[in-house]
Structures are given as C-alpha cells and as structure tokens.
Amino acid sequence: MNDGIGKFISLEGVDGAGKTTHLEYLSDYLVQRQLTVLVTREPGGTNAGEQLRSILLDATEPIAPLTELLLMFAARAEHVQKVIRPALLAGTWVLCDRFTDATYAYQGGGRGIDPRKIEVLERMTQGDLRPDLTFLLDLPVEIGLRRRRGLDRARDRFESLDLEFKQRVRLVYLARNEAEPRMHCMDGTLSIEMIQNEMGKKLEQLFEESTL
C-alpha cells in the first residue's frame, strides 16, 4: 500500500478483458464522491513514456525480451517519479491501466524472463510503491481474442502474439491474484453492469478502510 494521501488503483487483465470501459466507470464513480482523480496508463503516462510505448507496441520491429523488459521499467520509472507519486502525495486518487503485475504476466510469464530480475527492477523503480487495490479482469484467452477481432484497428505487438503466450500470461495473473491480497479477481465474462456493481462494492470497502 502506498504511503500517500491519495489511493492507487490499477486494472489488469488479458487483452479483450474490457479494462477501458471499466476504467471510465471507476473514474466517474470516484469523481461523484468529490475526489480528485488521475487516469493514466502503462506503458505511458509521460511524454517519454508515451514514446517508449510506441516502440514497445510496434509489431513491425522485433526487440529482444530483455530489451522489452528494460523499456517497460524505463517508462515506469518516469511514470512513478513524475506522475504517480506526486499525484498521490497531493491527495489525488490514481487509476492506472496496467502496472507492474502486467510486467510479471507478459514479460515474466509470456516471455519467460526470470521473475527475480523483474523484482530487482521493481524495487529500483518503485521502492515500496504498490497499488492499494488491483482489479484483475479474468476471462478465457479465446474469448478475449474474439473480442479483439471485432475492433477495427491494427493489432499491436502483444495483441499479435499466439494463444500459448496469452495462456501463460493469464496463468501468471491468476497466480499473482492468489499471492497478493490487494488483488481482486473478477469474472470478465459477466455483464458490464455486474462487474461494475462488484467494483463499486470493493471501492466502498476501500473507503471504509481509509477512514479507520
């Protein structure tokens, strides 16, 4: 849990889980509670981070797994230092589309990078900063792929990867959910209304804990 005044909430899930839709709901929910909210994303969130995002998602230019990992954390270091920490210390609630759990899932599970290397970079870039609450939107990879096919745009580097890669990603996400009390796994195949009702309940719990 972060030591700031604001709270840090991240959303995670395989491609096609619907994070964008639910991120908008969470932002509206918090604003209605008269809270100051910052919505951001990873990789990205800063000028340098967005440039690194373009490199990371470019499906036409192969890069080595270790290079990919280091670029992810380079973007995250900028994001944490220039955006996330200052916002939390100012009392802002931060909503982030993916954070370090995604690195363990995609670069660790998907690419096969030793998680101990990820842990070292995590400590260097974040210190003790962790989300206060992480929503994991879980659904079978095949369903996520079908949803993505319905989008009228080119697939990025990670969306272009094969089924086996995405299965490994999902397994690491589920393993982290078991190990991390801050994570709340939700059935991504449920209706939008059902998912958002459950999210609202978890937010109310977070509000109650914040006032104890």
Which CATH number is 186's domain given? 3.40.50.300
* Distances 192 to 31, 40, 210 between C-alpha atoms, Å: 19, 21, 27
> Is 37 inside a domain boundary?
yes
> Is 161 inside a domain boundary?
yes
Structurally, the chain folds into a number of domains equal to 1
The predicted structure's pLDDT at residue 3: 47
Question: How far, in Å, CA of 191 to CA of 71, rounded?
Answer: 35
Q: What pLDDT band is residue 144 in, cutting at 50, 70 and 90?
A: confident
Residues ≥6 apart with Cβ < 8 Å to 168: 109, 110
Q: Buried b vs exposed e over 61-79: b needs ≥16 C-beta within 10 Å?
A: eeeeeeebbebbbbbbbbb
- 185-212 residue pLDDT tens: 999 999 999 999 999 999 999 988 876 5
The pTM assigned to this predicted structure is 0.91
> Is 114 inside a domain boundary?
yes
Q: What residue numbers bound the domain in which 191 lies? A: 8-206
> Is 187 inside a domain boundary?
yes
Whether the predicted pLDDT of 71 surpasses 50: yes
